[in-house]
Structure 1
Amino acid sequence: MRPTELPKISIVTPSFNQGRFIESNILSIQGQKYPTLEHIIIDGGSTDETMPTLERYKELLASIVSEKDDGQYHAINKGFALATGEVMAWLNSDDVYIPGALHVVGEIFRKFPQIKWLTTRLPLAIEEDGTPIKATPVYGFTRTGFLNGENLPGLGWPATCYIQQESTFWRRSLWEQAGGRLDTNYRLAGDFDLWARFFEYTELYSVDVPIGCFRRHADQRTSTSFANYLEEAKAIFARAGGRARAGVIQNARIWLRQSAPPKLRNWAIGRSLLHPAPTVTYDWGTRAWVIAAC
């Protein structure tokens, strides 16, 4: 495939005193060898080894900005204001991409214009030193499931998993349609707010390969402020019209989605007991990505 056929991908990395991780972040992106890539780093005025590291890699980066900002989402907005790619994402400075991930993402967006945003069906977590520690298979996402609370665990209702930010990409057209900015009124759950706005316009497709890795370490914001994240996300959920479904029926839906044999899952979809989740899978016979549902 000629490089010009793949869409340009813009990735923004917000950073503040993440010098011990920023190099692995950069290398995980540049090591993709994706032909039309734009990596923008917005640093909040780091005082650790971040800036010397960025100086070493400046020839590989589209933009480096280092100045005080008003938090992570303000920094990301600044980065996206500089971005020129058709496909967009942000990767926090302590997270990384799986080798080959951007080629998968680019090819799917190239082949399927109806796909406006994409995530993984196999979220991964790594330890502080990069050791893989968890892979959680997910059988797709739907707007209905999102509004039923399925993607907001931790609040006492039946749920499956979060939409993994470090594995989620979207088209610029959807970004602009949904407001073209992250809401900086939220300090922690700006990603959840963006997903809620995206779901107003289109369904989320998921691909059955890993894309990104979420790094667990003691200093990360989601570890130190998880309760605050949930409070923000709960308010966003209510504002979006979400209503958590409790009880036997919702537990049954989650079981059908996550654990039921395919024939039983298809039976439930055929009788409108379960909404099909749009997915992308690799067809071995044709050696190509195809759209399916689960």
Structure 2
Amino acid sequence: MNPCPLTISIVTPSYNQAPFLEDAVRSVLTQDDGNLEYVIIDGGSSDGSPDIIRRYQDRLAYWVSEPDKGQYDAINKGFARTTGEIMAWLNSDDKFTPWSFSIVRDIFLRYPEVEWISTLQPLSWNDRGQAVAVSFTGGFNRGSFLRGGNCPSKGSYGRRWIQQESTFWRRSLWERAGGRIETSLGLASDFELWARFYTHADLYGVLAPLGGFRAHGNQKSVLQAEQYLAEAEQVLRQYGGKPCGGIEALVRGMLWKVARHGALLPIPDMMLAASHRVKLTFPTNVITWDGVSEWRIISGFVI
């Protein structure tokens, strides 16, 4: 294991989210991480957000409050100010779990072949910041992704989005994938980034909650859900996939409901190989704590 700690670079884009901004900032800074680079890009808020940011400015690598071209432009501006080996962004109304950075760093130090990770157990926060739900999404695989497994559109079998608040990656992957968030999309630029990452590296699931989405009803992803789904489907087609529908979606959806609880259990190799060969299931890599002393990679499957 590399004895040198990796620097984690976090960017928070923000615009008029004062009721939630401080919770987001504190979820980053209260981890007391000595190798953290935190950048906040505020879009010129008029609701007191800059005053909140100033209270923490001595612990920030950079911050600014000025008009920008939207959330994804702000994220690009923020990442351009960072240098850390591990990257992620946190929207100003969401939160990380208190242990996320230590887990993320442990995994990236132990497994140099792992280039991006996301939780299998995404959290949901309510408007008060309380954790109110956690679900099991199953593992990740590019083949499943291209069939719509992470794009739960109407009529598809999609299980759950890849939770942006719980996704971390190496800078080397970011640079190979173009070093930018796509700003031509209005909403689903995170989904487009995952599709682009998938052309370079496998996504590893982590069996620990790393972050959560705060549901307060005023997010673009909630208010404009249909537009987000339309953009995500457009992205899938751009990268050679599409959400499956009809009989295939029905079969995959029913199979996942039945098989999901065994997705990480030992299954005879011949059975799995046959299922993978006809692309009914897809292999996944999951990082889990061994219960004693270390994180280890196990195999699973996803529909």
TM-score, normalised relative to structure 1: 0.94
CA deviation vs aligned residue, 1:241-283 (integer Å, no higher than 9, x gap): 1133342543365346523473458664232432211110101
Distance in 1 (alpha carbons) for counterparts of 2:134 and 2:217: 20
Shift of 1:224: 1.1
Paired position in structure 2 for 1:170: 169
Q: Quick check: 1:256–1:264 contact (8 Å CA) kept in 2?
A: no
Alignment partner for residue 283 of structure 2, among 276, 288, 293? 276
Paired position in structure 1 for 2:30: 31
Deviates more, 1:208-217 or 1:249-258: 249-258
CA deviation vs aligned residue, 1:56-80 (integer Å, no higher than 9, x gap): 1111111111111111000000001
Secondary structure of the corresponding residue to residue 80 of structure 2: helix
Counterpart mapping for 1:58-73 below 5 A: 58-73=57-72
Secondary structure of the corresponding residue to residue 110 of structure 1: helix
Secondary structure of the corresponding residue to residue 186 of structure 2: coil
Distance in 1 (alpha carbons) for counterparts of 2:46 and 2:121: 35
Distance in 1 (alpha carbons) for counterparts of 2:208 and 2:9: 21
Paired position in structure 1 for 2:189: 190
2:93 counterpart of 1:94: yes
Shift of 1:113: 0.6
CA deviation vs aligned residue, 1:82-109 (integer Å, no higher than 9, x gap): 0110000000000111111100001101
Give identity over the alignment, percent: 41
Distance in 1 (alpha carbons) for counterparts of 2:138 and 2:123: 15
- AA paired with 1:188? L
Distance in 2 (alpha carbons) for counterparts of 1:105 and 1:21: 24
Paired position in structure 2 for 1:81: 80
- AA paired with 2:138? Y
CA spacing shift, 1:115–1:253, aligned 2, 3 Å: farther
Paired position in structure 2 for 1:214: 213
Secondary structure of the corresponding residue to residue 259 of structure 1: helix
Secondary structure of the corresponding residue to residue 195 of structure 1: helix
CA spacing shift, 1:265–1:6, aligned 2, 3 Å: farther
Q: Quick check: 1:20–1:49 contact (8 Å CA) kept in 2?
A: no
Q: Quick check: 1:43–1:65 contact (8 Å CA) kept in 2?
A: yes
2:53 counterpart of 1:46: no
2:256 counterpart of 1:254: yes
Provide structure 1 residue ranges, at least 5 long, that are not aligned to the other structure. Answer: none
2:139 counterpart of 1:133: no
Deviates more, 1:158-167 or 1:273-282: 273-282
Provide structure 2 residue ranges, at least 5 long, that are not aligned to the other structure. Answer: none
Distance in 1 (alpha carbons) for counterparts of 2:105 and 2:193: 21
Aligned length: 292
Distance in 1 (alpha carbons) for counterparts of 2:52 and 2:196: 35
Shift of 1:239: 0.5
Paired position in structure 2 for 1:181: 180
Secondary structure of the corresponding residue to residue 227 of structure 2: helix
Q: Quick check: 1:256–1:265 contact (8 Å CA) kept in 2?
A: no
CA spacing shift, 1:265–1:75, aligned 2, 3 Å: farther
CA deviation vs aligned residue, 1:100-149 (integer Å, no higher than 9, x gap): 11000011011101000000010000110012221111221101110111
- AA paired with 1:65? V
TM-score, normalised relative to structure 2: 0.91
Q: Cα RMSD (Å) of the superposition?
A: 1.9
Secondary structure of the corresponding residue to residue 213 of structure 1: strand
